[in-house]
Every structure is written in C-alpha cells, then in structure tokens.
Structure 1
Amino acid sequence: MRPLSAERALLEARLPGFDGRLAALGIDGAEDPDNEVIEEFRRAGGGNLFVPRELGGAGLGCHDGVRLQRAVGSRAPALAVATTMHHYKVAWLAAALGADAAGVLRGIAEKNLLVASCGAEGQVGRSLFAPGIRVAAADGGLTVSGTKRPCSLTRSMGLLSLTATAPDGTAPDGRLLMLVIPADAPGIRREPFWRNRVLRATQTDAVVLDEVFVPQSMIIPIGDPALSPGRFTSNLLWFQLLITASYLGVATGQVEELYTAGRGTPGDRVAALAPLETVAAALEALAREVDGGRCDDDLLGRSLLVRHTAQRAIAEATDRALELAGGMPFVTGSQGVDALAASRGLAFHPPSEISAREPLDTWLGGGGLTLT
C-alpha cells in the first residue's frame, strides 16, 4: 500500500491526466493565486463530477467524492477547498431537490459551469441557511441585495447559489428558496476580502449584490426546515464529508513527504499516518451510508464527531510532519508551514466544534440534533 494510491487512481480515472498536472505544479505552484488551476479543473470537466449521468454528468456518489477530494487536497489544498463549495451544492441539488433542480444541473453540465455557494459562514450566531441577503418581489421573479463574504470561486464561478427566505406576499410565503444567479448578472461585483497568504488560490473574496434580478426559472423552492428536515440534513452531510476529506488530503500529502524523503523512523511515519487513515476509513463508511440513501440526524451527528476528530488528527499529523521534515526546509522555504496552516482551516467551517458541542451533547444524551 502507498498512501493515497486508491484516491489518486480514482482521480486519474475521472479526470485523466489531471493528477499528473497537479503533481507537476507542486504545492507552491498550485497555491499561487495567479495560477489557472481552477480553470484547468473546470475545462477538464471537474465541475460535472456530481451531476447525475442522465443530466450529462459523471454521477459520482459520496464515497467516490470523499476519495477524490482527499486526492486533490494532497496536491492542491486551495483547489480542494474551493471545489468542495461547488461539489457539495451540486450533489445536494441532485440528491435532495431532484426534478426541481434538473434544469439547473443540466445547464451546469452542458456549459461546464462552477457554482459558488453563498452561505452564512463567517457570521457568528447566524443561521446556516440564512446568508443575510435582502429579497424583494419583482415582476417575473425576485431581486436580491447584500454582501456575501467570504465567497470562494469568485473569479471562476459561472453561477452563484444562495438560500433566502421568500418575501411576504410571494409564494411560497416565508419558506426557504434556493436562488441560482448567473455570475455575470447585472448588479454583481467582486471586492477584495481575503488577506491571509494561505489558501489564496481559493479565489475567496466578497461578492456584492445590488438589486440583482433572479427570474422565476432560477428559483428553486426548498421548503420549511421543520417540514422537510431531510433536505437540510442532506446539505450538511455532503458538506461535512467533502470538506473534511479535502483537509484530510492536505495533511496526508504532508505525511506522504516523510515517506518520499525517508524522514523520521518507521515508527514516526506510522504514528503520523495512522490517525489520518483511521479518519479516512470513518469518512468512507459514512459516505457509503449516504450513497445507500440514509439521511438522518444520527448520520449527521456521527459526521460531525468524525470531523472534529479529524481536526485533532490533522493537527497532530501536520505538527509531526513539519518537525520531522527538519529545520533546513523550514529555514529555506515556507511550503511546510503554509500547508500546516492551510490544514487548520477545517476548524473555521460551519458549524464550528464550539457551536456544535451543546447540540451534540443533547443528541448523544438521547435528544434531537438541532444546529443553527
């Protein structure tokens, strides 16, 4: 067994030649914010991987998705994180909204579009499904205004997706909607936002919407979370599993370098890799249950426990990898430090471990799981 051999074989099968391209770039090249790696991914058909086959995509399931994101993360951390924002939304549209989203999904496949996901991350105390966008009724649709920050894929997105509440006096009154907006729609502009040197290649900045019109054909009713909880559980499940796999890949790539360079003792290398492989096995087990049609609070709760365990395993493994790599690489370059810092990003995606502790404790004590 070689670390990541199965994951990279899957990436090669789905996007022939792309793993080799990432390997040739190296992490420094892949993480350069001026590179074209996201555009190369899009041209290679990467945005269509989770679109159902009958709608023109590859029809990947969650298990393959977890493996693929781990492979990408090991070569290009920013690409893995940025494309997760596309993949989970596409997978969720297909899995939870079905025929209502078929037209949008077919368009994504036909035009090779990437979807930027507008959620509420970065807003303490805000609902996961309410990004703070103002919505008003308009002839033939809705208008939306507000600012989404941060938002990944700002330069490469073909579509911007966001959730919003239907305004009073419109159908379905007060229910949540999925709005899908062309990236070149009048009233959309980008503004600089990301200042950290780590993960700059995610194209993460601010998107400002000023009275942007959304036609009725690009509005997908989601429903009331209390009446259709499975749809919202599905959204969170896909995101948690794919984003965890992406950061797990970042850490695994760093430990892989120990094997390539022969750094540390056999015990050192095994101790660094074993917790990552354990988390990967847990992620794959959960993903198989998603592929089998399971979607409930218990599965979501377990996915959060695995994610939080992954955060600690990643921290331990990357700390060890940086130390074992030696002092000269630390002195002469920042790649190891940057990768370590990038791997820590998992802690900042919603819901944070701190915010989830009380809901998880209630659930583990026999109650329901309620995340806000």
Structure 2
Amino acid sequence: MSTNFMVEELATTERLFPGLDRTLSDVPVAELESVKSPGLGIFREFGGPALMVPEDLGGLQAPLTEGLHVQRVLGARSPSLALAANMHHCTVLAMPPCPATEELLGAVAANKLYLASGFGEGRPAASVLVPVMRAERHGDGWRLNGVKKPCSLAESMDYLTASVMVTSPDTGEKEMALAIIPADTEGMEVRTLGDAQVLPGSETREVVLTDVDVPDDHISFLGDPQTLNSALATVFHTFELMVSASYVGVASGLVEAVLHQRRGSAGERIELVGDLESTMASLEAVARATTPGDDDPLGVARALYVRYSAQRTVARVAAHATELLGGSSYMISGFSTTYCTSARALAFHPPARSAMAEPLDRFVLGGPLVMP
C-alpha cells in the first residue's frame, strides 16, 4: 500500500542508494533485529559508509538534511541498523581534518569501511567529555588503556575511533583527543555486554584496550573538553540531529503500520503523522541553519532543544501507535514490542536532558554554553 508518508526521506534514500529500502523491507523485522542481523552487511553492500564522506575523498558528501532523511528511513526499517549507522556517520563528520584522517575517509568510501564510535564508557552520570581511557606517551607514539562501552558496530568495525585523555606534548595540559585504531590491532578485545535485548542488531558490545600502541598521526587533539570549540561543537551538533532523526524513524515504522492497517480513527492517525512531520521539520531547520565545523554554541543549543523535544514526541507517538496496533502485534508478532522499546532508547543517549537543564538555562540567560 502506497502512502504519502516519509515521501522526501524515501526519495532521498532511493536516489542515493537505489534498491536499499526495498532490500531492507524484504527482510523480516525479527531477522534484522537479531544478534545475527544482516542489516549492517546490506548497508555496506549498498555503499552506505560513504554517505557523509567528502566528495573529493570519494564519498557522497550528503548534506546534513539528506543524512537525516536516510537515518529516518533506516530507523523505520531497522532500529538496530539506524543506531549503528548513525554512530558511523557522526564519526565521519567529527573527524578533524588532517592527512591521516583524509586518507582514512578515502579508504572508508573506496572500501566501504565502518568506523565504530568509542566515546561511551558505561559510567552513569559521567560526562562523555571526560574519558577515563588514558593515552600515555610511548616511544614515537601513544599507548592506550581502558574500556569503551557501550560501543556499537563492534563486530563489523574496520576501525575504532576512541576518545582518550592525553597530556599534550605542546602545552603539558590534559586534554581530550581522538584515537583511530584498526580493528585488528593487538591488545584490542571485543566482549559481550550483558544480556540486553534492546537493539541487538547494532552490535553493541564492550571494547577493551590493553597496551594498545597508536602512532602520532592517529591521534587528533580536541582541546579542553569543557570548552565548546569548533571540533566539539561539530560532534554535538551533528550527533543530536542525526540520532534524533534515527529515532523519529523508529516511531515512523510504527506509524507506517498504523496507516497500512488503518488502525484507529482518522483523527488519531493524522495526529501521529503530524507530530512526527513537525519534529522532522524542526530537525531539518536546525540542520540547515548551522554549518558543521563552525564554533557555534547557539547551533549546538538549538540541536539540543529539538533533540529533547523529539525525545518526548517519539516516546508519545510510539506508545500511541503501539496501542492502536493492538495486543496481538505487541505480544505475538513482536514487531511493535521491538519498535516501542527501541524508541525509548533516545532518552539514554548523551547528554541526558537532566544533565543539560542547568547548562542550557545559564546559556539562555546569557552565559557560555558549557557541556557537563
């Protein structure tokens, strides 16, 4: 059944990756949302890793708005795939410009490589901007020790990009840095991460680094994590928008089912559609208003505003759509169970709404934007 829902997003995805949506749609949700999901393999096959890579490095260099479109479609087809792909894309966009990263991104586009994002460390209420993982000077490079969890794409990754705290050789000050580590590097181990059943196809695991040696040109300094410089502004701006679009996609998958099955009243269906379309329009507006790479705290604040608004909307829409789909879908088929549970995960991505309340309040009242 054809609908006028997600029209632009589907058109963008078909133009960039002809046949991808149909291929994903032909795979049962239970298979896509399993620990042996073929989702990441399918996305790799269609050239998905190149989506946000600059054109002069062989990539598609999709505008941020088109990145949002693709992520929404992926979320509607497979929440797990959307989450994992989002982490890859945001890592690509956050790469600081230098010969080493340009070479890496060229390889990503040419060879369809995946970059895993190692920023989380599984410490409740802790800032992702103050990693416990340390890099110590060792010979002509650095030696890394620590744990990254949760880390998506852990099984399919070709490279791990990990946040570390280093002592700058130039200033002697501690600062945040980004390390690029090939997946087959000695001393890097992937471990299971409990028995969590949410987003199983995202390959979310624990990655342990023990005396991992990284050369100088694979470490990029990001500065004082409390200072929202251009590099960190880009990280937050792009991540908040892209991850929000991914979960708008998850809720969209439920609403698609409501529309196809004509569940609920006309008023209820249009309310669900209207809420998601309004949220997507807000994400696109913020994406168009700010250029990634700019030192723009207002752009980051706006990205956070729409992310937290999306968080509330996605949870409400997913719950209502699940109710309309009925108990059989929820308890027997597992489709709405999977999607409704996955939609709640947006609340757990950093920075938490509660953690940002006071920093955003101070910013609105005229102070600097300081990330907790």
TM range (shorter): over 0.9
Where structure 2 has 5 or more consecutive residues not aligned to the other structure, the ranges are none
Q: Does 1:55 align with 2:94?
A: no
Could you tell me the TM-score, scaled by structure 2's length? 0.94
Inter-partner Cα distance in structure 1 for 2:121 and 2:63: 25
- Residue type at the aligned position of 2:70: L
Equivalence for 2:205: 205
Q: Does 1:21 align with 2:23?
A: yes
Where structure 1 has 5 or more consecutive residues not aligned to the other structure, the ranges are none
In structure 2, relative to structure 1, the CA distance for the partners of 1:299 and 1:105 (3 Å cut) is: same
- Residue type at the aligned position of 1:54: D
Equivalence for 1:323: 323
Determine if contact 2:114/2:158 at 8 Å carries over to the other structure.
yes
Equivalence for 2:287: 287
Equivalence for 1:178: 178
Pairing of 1:20-169 with structure 2 (within 5 A) = 20-93=22-95, 97=97, 101-120=101-120, 122-167=122-167
- Residue type at the aligned position of 1:160: L
In structure 2, relative to structure 1, the CA distance for the partners of 1:197 and 1:225 (3 Å cut) is: closer
Determine if contact 1:121/1:350 at 8 Å carries over to the other structure.
no
Determine if contact 1:120/1:126 at 8 Å carries over to the other structure.
no
What is the CA-CA distance between 1:303 and the residue it aligns to? Answer: 1.2
Post-superposition CA distance 1:27-84 (Å, at most 9, x none): 2221122122212212321111111010111111211111110111011110001111
- Residue type at the aligned position of 2:73: A
- Residue type at the aligned position of 1:329: S
* 2:212 partner SS: strand
Aligned-CA RMSD value: 1.9
Determine if contact 2:234/2:294 at 8 Å carries over to the other structure.
no
- Residue type at the aligned position of 2:353: E
Moved more, 320-329 or 57-66: 320-329
- Residue type at the aligned position of 1:147: V
* 2:42 partner SS: helix
Moved more, 67-76 or 136-145: 136-145
In structure 2, relative to structure 1, the CA distance for the partners of 1:263 and 1:92 (3 Å cut) is: same
- Residue type at the aligned position of 2:306: V
* 2:167 partner SS: coil
- Residue type at the aligned position of 2:29: I
* 2:29 partner SS: helix
* 1:149 partner SS: strand
Post-superposition CA distance 1:61-113 (Å, at most 9, x none): 211111110111011110001111110010121xx536563122222223321
Equivalence for 2:217: 217
Equivalence for 2:269: 269
Equivalence for 1:237: 237
What is the CA-CA distance between 1:367 and the residue it aligns to? Answer: 1.9
Q: Percent identity?
A: 33
Inter-partner Cα distance in structure 2 for 1:302 and 1:227: 18
Determine if contact 1:55/1:102 at 8 Å carries over to the other structure.
yes
What is the CA-CA distance between 1:128 and the residue it aligns to? Answer: 2.1
In structure 2, relative to structure 1, the CA distance for the partners of 1:152 and 1:227 (3 Å cut) is: closer
Equivalence for 1:356: 356
